[in-house]
Chains A and B, each alone.
Chain A
Amino acid sequence: MNNVKTPKACLQIQKDIVLGAYLSYSTNKALKEHLKTCPACRAFAELQANIKDRLTAEQSAQSPPERTLKQLHLHLADRLQERNATAWRRLRQLLAFRMRFDHAMAAVIVVICFVWGLGRLHTIYPPKSAKPIKYHADQSVIETAQATLLLRAAAEQKLGRPISEDSLYSRFTFTM
């Protein structure tokens, strides 16, 4: 094989043998036919098969060390812990301050009290714009001033204190 120049057909066949996995059915058939009649290509194919067989046998004879897997598990656990720690550290950096648990609880209570107090204040002294005045009176029947006087008296009785005309319209809704 070495001193004689390999014919072109044989070169192609030997290429097909090396890249065997890509052979189509027809190429495979042609290759088998060629091997029957060509001792050089047959020797080439035999050598390839031998090498592959030996390499496969060699692979199955390997015995990987047991300690490796244990070390890999430790490494993976370390990485996981590191990753979680990094995520927490990033979150804290994002918040830009370090907070102790009792401090955090105190802050939460202060915020809750503030919101509750604000709500109470809103109930006692609602903003003027918050309650639209619904004043619907037929002025041809009742004079506005007269109605105001009547309503003011009723409101003052209910509240137990004097009330201005402005407050009357902002806090009471009445229709006629």
Chain B
Amino acid sequence: MDWKILYSHRTDEALMARVQKGDARAMTVLYERYNRRLLVFFRRMLGGKQVAEDMLQETFLHLIDRAGLYDSAKKFSTWLFCIAYNLCKNEYRRRQRRKSSATIEDLLHSDYPLADNLTVDLHEEITSRFFLEAVFRELEKLGPERKSLFLLRCQQELSVHEIAEITGLAEGTVKSRLFYINKILADRLESFHPSPHKA
């Protein structure tokens, strides 16, 4: 498709300017760029495939409805994750208290898909999954706000500046909290050491 090639060279910000004028193709490209990132963010923030899919849709509905509010001088990813972050906060408020951690049974019966690629070693996949579940079990104990900081940094690889804008925290606070979170993880996961890179 010609338009896809043409649109794929445009920046997020340029595409968003087109969405503001009602361009459905520009929205399609933005959706394709960010859907996986948002899905995994929501799944880790809120748990559950269905919730994550609903939230993904909700995020883009907000994007369409509030397109006029987007300032093209600002980074698109920051704006988008700001919507996603606020949706998570609302969802947390709604739930108030939720189940804090996944058990091994939850994990084995979870809706998290194993990789489709059959050449992937199943043992490796399960080890990886246990490791990540251990990470998130610890993150759950730290609370949703810290978990979101961790995800925005380690999963979404956003800059400290962007995270500060999204969360409304000072950059110094973001830095110190990120360090604190990672230090705690290091301490608590010391016994759990999958080290897949080691022979």
Interface residues in chain A, defined as those with a beta carbon under 8 Å from any beta carbon in chain B: 1-2, 14-15, 17-19, 21-22, 43-44, 46-55, 57-65, 68-69, 71-73, 75-77, 79-80, 83
On whether the beta carbons of B27 and A72 are closer than 8 Å, the reply is: yes
Distance of A83 from chain B, by nearest CB (Å):
7
Give complex CA distance A1, B191 in Å: 11
- Which B positions have Cβ atoms within 8 angstroms of A? 19, 22, 24, 27-28, 31, 35-37, 39-40, 43, 53, 56-57, 60-61, 64-65, 113, 115-116, 128, 131-132, 135, 153-155, 157, 159-160, 175, 178-179, 182-183, 185-190, 193-197
Complex Cα spacing A57 to B39, Å: 13
Contact B160 A51 (CB under 8 A): no
Instruction: Give which listed residue, B40, B53, B64, contacts A76 with CB less than 8 A.
Output: B64
Which residues on the A side are within 8 Å of B113 (C-beta)? 61, 63
A170 to B85, CA, bound (A): 83
A-chain residues with CB within 8 Å of residue B178 when the two chains form the complex: 18-19
Q: Which of A51, A62, A79 contacts B154 (CB 8 A)?
A: A51
Taking a contact as CB atoms under 8 Å apart, the answer to whether B56 and A76 are in contact is no
Contact residues in A for B40 (Cβ distance below 8 Å): 55, 58-59, 62
CA distance A59 to B175 in the complex (A): 24
Give the residues in chain B near A61, CB-CB below 8 Å: 113, 115-116
Q: List 26 A-B contacts (CB under 8 A).
A: A14-B179, A14-B186, A18-B153, A18-B179, A18-B182, A19-B178, A21-B159, A22-B160, A43-B186, A46-B197, A47-B186, A47-B189, A49-B197, A50-B194, A50-B195, A54-B128, A54-B131, A54-B135, A61-B116, A62-B35, A62-B43, A72-B57, A75-B61, A76-B27, A79-B65, A83-B22
Residues from chain A with Cβ under 8 Å of B64 in the complex: 72, 75-76, 79
Whether B22 pairs with A55 at a CB distance below 8 angstroms is: no
Instruction: Among B31, B153, B160, point to the contact of A69 (Cβ < 8 A).
Output: B31
- Taking the closest CB of chain B, its distance from the CB of A160, in whole angstroms, is 68
Known: A1-B187, A69-B31. A55 touches B57 (CB 8 A): no
